[in-house]
Amino acid sequence: MHYEGNVIRPPSEWNSIILQVTVGCSHNKCTFCGAYKDVDFRIKDEETVSADIGFAAAHCQRQKRVFLADGDVLILSQQRLIQILQGIRQHLPWVTQVTLYGNAKAILSKTTAQLQELKHFGLSRVYMGLESGNDHVLDTIRKGADSAKMIRAAAHVRGAGLFLSVTVLLGIGGTEGSADHARDTGLVISRMQPNQIAALTLMVMENTPLWHAIRNGSFTLPDPAGMLAELQTMVEHINVERSQFHANHASNYLEISCRLPRDKDRILREINVAQQGGKQLRPEHMRRL
C-alpha cells in the first residue's frame, strides 16, 4: 500500500482495508486537530489507487470492509468516487462495506440522488464529526459549519439510506462552556438521529492552536470529573429512536457501549456510580488518541 503521512481511521475500522484515496483534509482548519496541519490536501492519482486495490486483492482477502482515507474523501467528484467504488466491487468482491469520512460541506455538496448512487455502487457508511452541538463552540474551534448545517447534513445522509455515524468530543467546550456544550450536543444529536454515536474525550496535540490556547490560559480542559459530568448531561439530553452509543475509545475515562434508548437509564446509573468513586476510571497513562 502507498500510504503517505498520518493515515487516520475511525476506531471501528480497525480491521478494515485502509485505502488511502486522498492525502490530508480538505478543511484542515479545526483548532483541535493536528493530524494534517503540515499537509496540503490533494487527491491521489488513479494509478496509485488502482495499484493499492490490486495489492488488497492479493493480500487482504480476509478483510470484509474498506475504509477510504484520509480526512474527507466525500469531497471528490461523483465520477471519481464511482470509479473507486467500481474498482473495489470488481477486484474485492468479498467486501461487504465501504465507509468514509464526510464533513457537512462535502455531504451537502452531493444531491440525494448522488448519495443514493454512491450507495448503489457500494458505499454503506458515512462518519461525520459533529464535535459539538453548541454554535459558539463550533465557531471557536473553526469547524466550518453551525449546528443547523450539521443537522441538514445528517438528514441528507439518512435520507439517502446510508448508515450515519456521528462523533462528538467531550471537553471541547472547555470548563467555561462545558455545560452548554454537553446539553446542546445531546439536543443536536437528537435532531440528527444518527445510527451510531461515538463520544471521544479531547486529548490536545502540541501542534494545534488549542494547545497554545491552553498554554496561554485562554482555554482550560475539564478534569476527569468534568468529563463525566459532560457525558452525563449529554446522555440525559439524547432522545433517539434507535442508535448505538459508544464511549469506548481509548481516550475516554469511562468505557461505555450500549443501545439507546434501551440502555439509557442503565448508562446514567453507571456514570453516577463512577462519579461516586464506585467504578475505576481509565488512568491517564493508558489514554490514547
Cβ–Cβ under 8 Å, residues 71 and 36: yes
Is it the case that residue 262 has pLDDT exceeding 80?
A: yes
pLDDT of residue 5: 84
- In angstroms, the first-to-last Cα distance of the chain is 23
pLDDT band of residue 288 (cuts 50, 70, 90) is confident
- pLDDT at position 71, please? 84
- Whether the CB-CB separation of 282 and 254 falls below 8 Å is answered with yes
CA separation for the pair 267, 36 (Å, rounded): 35
Q: How many Å apart are CA 189 and CA 239, to the nearest integer? A: 8
Which helix H or strand E contains 46, and what residues bound it? helix 46-59
**Mean pLDDT across the chain:** 96
Give a yes or no: residue 133 inside a domain.
Answer: yes
Classify residue 60: in a domain, yes or no.
yes
Q: Give the pLDDT confidence score for residue 285 in this predicted structure.
A: 87
The 10s digit of each residue's pLDDT in 126-151 is 999 999 999 999 999 999 999 999 99
Query: What does the pLDDT read at residue 72?
Result: 84
Beta strands 163-170 and 65-69 are unpaired
pLDDT above 90 (res 8): no
What local confidence, expressed as pLDDT, does residue 214 receive? 96
Q: What integer pLDDT is reported at residue 219 of this predicted model? A: 97
**Phi and psi angles of residue 128, each rounded to the nearest 5 degrees, phi first:** -125, 130
Q: Provide the percentage of residues in the chain whose pLDDT is more than 90.
A: 90
Q: Is 251 helix (H, G, I), strand (E, B) or coil?
A: coil
Mean pLDDT along residues 146-175:
98
3-state percent breakdown (helix, strand, coil) of the chain, nearest 5: 40, 15, 40
Q: Is the pLDDT of residue 289 over 80?
A: no
Q: What is the CATH number of the domain that holds 94?
A: 3.20.20.70
Q: For 90-95, which contacts have Cβ atoms below 8 Å and span 24 or more sequence positions?
A: 91/53, 91/54, 91/56, 91/57, 92/17, 92/53, 92/56, 92/57, 92/60, 92/66, 94/61, 94/64, 95/17, 95/63, 95/64, 95/65, 95/66, 95/122
Residue 287 lies in a domain: no
Runs of H (alpha helix) within 171-263: 178-192, 209-215, 224-237
Pairing of strands 123-131, 196-201: unpaired
Total number of domains constituting the chain = 1
d(CA 187, CA 191): 7
pLDDT at 11: 85
pLDDT at 51: 97
Residue 39 has pLDDT above 90, yes or no: no
Does residue 176 fall inside a structural domain?
yes
Helix axes 178-192, 147-159, angle to 10 degrees: 30
Q: What is the mean pLDDT of residues 231-254?
A: 96
Evaluate whether residue 252 is within a structural domain. yes
Q: Which grid coordinates are listed for 175?
A: 470548563
What is the residue range of 106's domain? 11-280
Is there a contact between 25 and 75 (Cβ–Cβ < 8 Å)? no
In a domain? residue 138: yes
pTM: 0.95
* Domain membership flag for residue 36: yes
- Band of residue 64 on the pLDDT scale cut at 50, 70, 90: very high
Distance in angstroms (rounded) separating the CA atoms of residues 107 and 74: 7
Q: Which of 132, 138, 223, 130 is nearest to 175 (CA)?
A: 223
Q: Report yes or no on 150 lying in a domain.
A: yes
Q: What is the DSSP letter of 62?
A: T
